[in-house]
Structure 1
Amino acid sequence: MNTIELFNFYYFLYIGILICMTFVISLFLDNQSLRFKKGFILGLIIFNFVIHFLKIFIYPYTLIDHVWTKVTFENISAATILLFPYLYVSKNKTLKDYMIIIGLYAGLIPLIYPADAMSTMFNGTIHIGERPVFMLENIRFYTAHYILFLVAFLMLRYKIHIVSFKRALKIPLIFIGVLVLLFINELLITYFGGVPFEDLFDPNKRNPSMIFGIKDGYEEISVLLKVFVPKFMEITHPVYGFTFLVPVIWLMIPLYIYGSMIIILFYVIIDRKNLITWIKKLLCYEKTGHISPL
């Protein structure tokens, strides 16, 4: 059976198709009015929102007893898809900055490392075997994440929103807020019977966006993250015996360190002018002990 594997032919085939689509869409939009471009982007957001709910009718979602749990805020990608309509129409510039940054990263990272499309497991506990290359769920997976990237890319390309480093320090706080939302979502769907109570807090079960720790088999990621996690944040479940990390809180230090690096890299590319101004103000503070606000 032909499957997607890291760096095999089909891995690059999907990426190649998406690159070509980006080129064609950009070519089409270049000569359109700003109003049309904004409407086109809104159409992409709504389309992604709709297929997020329609996915429950395709395999392997049909294997899940409480399939409604799959259309909730169950991970960063799902939360991003659900929040994008609100973020797009929002007048808040910081939220728009977050929208573009999270769209680029939540869109690109799964395309570069398509863990779900390569996995033989589904929903943390269901073994479905190898996934055919053009399995409908794989196509949905690539489409959903590509649209997240494309929306952010087009907003930048056509200056639908101008990002600014002046708002950079607020972005990690919004991201932490979204992680808290994922945790609350997990508590609620467990309370309403959507997830077995014994799976709550287990890093090797649902564990949306690693809020409960790192799954077995991800040693490389574990090394990078756990070096910044104090030992007291490791907890052994008093009933089921598995070890997990303090939900969300354990991610704050790694998120601040790695997240800041990623955000600064983004602004180096997109808003170098304000970043240089900020650095100059820091250097001024070193000399005078006073720094003016950003």
Structure 2
Amino acid sequence: MNIQMFNFWYWFWLIISLGSTVGLYFLLRNKSAKTQKIVLFSILILGLIAHFTKFLYPPYSTDHARMLRDAWFVNICGANIGLFPFMFLSKDKRVKDYMFYLGMLGGLIAVFVPLEPIAKVNQAAEWIDIVRFYFHHTMLYAVPLLMVLFKLHTLSYKRVFWCPVYLLVVMLFIMLNQIFQSELGFIPLRGNDIINVNYKNSSLIWGPGNESFAVVFTALCPKIFKTIPCGEYAGQTKYWPWFWLIVPAFVYLVPICFAICMIFDHKNFRSDFAIVKSKINDYIDMIKARRKAKATSPDTAIVVNDSFVNTVSVDDKVNQNKTTQVPSDTDATTN
């Protein structure tokens, strides 16, 4: 087995991944919500177990240092494997939104562009790890997708702004993992590695490194987050770990999540948009009516309500007062 882009094995595993998701959908679509939840949660637990049992097969069984390093959650997909079971049980809709969007993006990108298997020198000897790779990343997109298709969770376009917030929180979780790895000796000295942005930094949390695609993120990074503010290296270029990704996370993730959400929540968006549009039109009509009334009768007092404009002529009030006569003292005496 030798996986390369668009060769036989590439299409083989891609079809297996997508086909298993479709098959699981038809298998569970007529089942009760309880059964659907149990099956999907069991898949997530199986994925978590698979993550911690990598030491049983190559390359981890033959490389002790790599096993200790990669058994932790050192990238976004790895962190999601560890967090998704808890997110699935959560009642927080924003958490499940994150689970859906990042699961779909991370899982599908990894399956369509399987860089990890392609990079393996001896794929035949590490075929079990390749199976694990496809299982994990299929799980990441299949479970959240089925969760939404089965109405176990309902997406809302109003919550898409929370997705980058939770992504940044997960990145902090990854940073904490790597710091503990360094402090506890699971990876080499932090002075040589954890500060080196080209070492175990696939999520670019510590900086863009030498990754050519990182330019799409660095272009949006504010200058303050890529400059050393003080000390002997003040003024030199250095991307602040984590902080430098805040702006790119919002700029890219919000519209992407919104576009995905429109597949499932377009009716609510269309309805809300119609309401907002109607209110704006009513406000514009009210302003036009006010201006028209002022232009046609400058001496007119205008009373404006939300739905109508009433005008009362000042001259009419004056004329009305003239027709009402108060009896004089002479008339009173005569009577």
Tell me the TM-score range normalised by the shorter chain: 0.7 to 0.9
> Greater CA radius of gyration, 1 or 2?
2
Are positions 1:105 and 2:99 aligned together?
no
Q: SS of the counterpart of 2:5?
A: coil
Counterpart of 1:201 in structure 2 is 195
Q: Which gives a bigger RCO, structure 1 or 2 (Cα 8 Å, sep 6+)?
A: 1
C-alpha distance after superposition, 1:3-24 (max 9, x if no partner):
2122222111111112222222
Counterpart of 1:43 in structure 2 is 42
Equivalent position amino acid for 1:102 in 2:
L
CA distance in 1, matches of 2:272, 2:256: 17
CA distance in 2, matches of 1:213, 1:280: 43
Q: SS of the counterpart of 2:53?
A: helix
Counterpart of 1:16 in structure 2 is 15
Counterpart of 1:187 in structure 2 is 179
Q: SS of the counterpart of 1:201?
A: coil
Equivalent position amino acid for 2:83 in 1:
L
CA distance in 1, matches of 2:172, 2:281: 36
Q: Could you tell me whether the CA contact under 8 Å between 2:161 and 2:250 is conserved in 1?
A: no
Q: Could you tell me whether the CA contact under 8 Å between 1:56 and 1:70 is conserved in 2?
A: no
Aligned partner of 1:265 among 259, 266, 271: 259
CA distance in 2, matches of 1:288, 1:188: 57
CA distance in 2, matches of 1:102, 1:287: 40
Counterpart of 2:138 in structure 1 is 146
CA distance in 1, matches of 2:9, 2:175: 35
Equivalent position amino acid for 2:93 in 1:
K
Equivalent position amino acid for 2:110 in 1:
P
Are positions 1:173 and 2:165 aligned together?
yes
Q: Report the CA distance shift for 1:47/1:285 in structure 2 as closer, same or farther (over 3 A).
A: farther
Give TM-score, length-normalised by structure 1: 0.84
Q: Could you tell me whether the CA contact under 8 Å between 2:58 and 2:126 is conserved in 1?
A: no
Equivalent position amino acid for 1:262 in 2:
I
Q: How far off its partner does 1:45 sit?
A: 1.0
Counterpart of 1:6 in structure 2 is 5
Q: How far off its partner does 1:51 sit?
A: 0.5
Q: Report the CA distance shift for 1:246/1:15 in structure 2 as closer, same or farther (over 3 A).
A: same
Q: SS of the counterpart of 2:54?
A: helix
Q: Report the CA distance shift for 1:288/1:201 in structure 2 as closer, same or farther (over 3 A).
A: farther
C-alpha distance after superposition, 1:39-89 (max 9, x if no partner):
111111111111011112221123132633323221111111111111111
Aligned-pair Cα RMSD in Å: 2.6
Q: Structure 2, unaligned stretches of length 5 or more?
A: 285-335
Q: SS of the counterpart of 1:117?
A: helix
Report matched runs for 1:55-204 at 5 Å.
Answer: 55-62=54-61, 63-65=63-65, 67-120=67-120, 129-132=121-124, 135-196=127-188, 197=190, 198-204=192-198
Q: SS of the counterpart of 1:199?
A: coil
CA distance in 2, matches of 1:231, 1:44: 43
CA distance in 2, matches of 1:72, 1:93: 27
Q: Could you tell me whether the CA contact under 8 Å between 2:75 and 2:174 is conserved in 1?
A: yes
Q: How far off its partner does 1:206 sit?
A: 0.8
Q: SS of the counterpart of 1:16?
A: helix
Equivalent position amino acid for 2:42 in 1:
G
CA distance in 2, matches of 1:133, 1:165: 45
Equivalent position amino acid for 1:273 in 2:
K
CA distance in 2, matches of 1:190, 1:277: 52
Equivalent position amino acid for 2:118 in 1:
M
Q: How far off its partner does 1:255 sit?
A: 1.1
Equivalent position amino acid for 2:81 in 1:
I
Q: SS of the counterpart of 1:245?
A: coil
CA distance in 1, matches of 2:27, 2:119: 35
Q: Could you tell me whether the CA contact under 8 Å between 2:77 and 2:106 is conserved in 1?
A: yes
| Percent of residue pairs bearing the same amino acid type | 27
Q: SS of the counterpart of 1:271?
A: helix
Q: How far off its partner does 1:201 sit?
A: 2.3
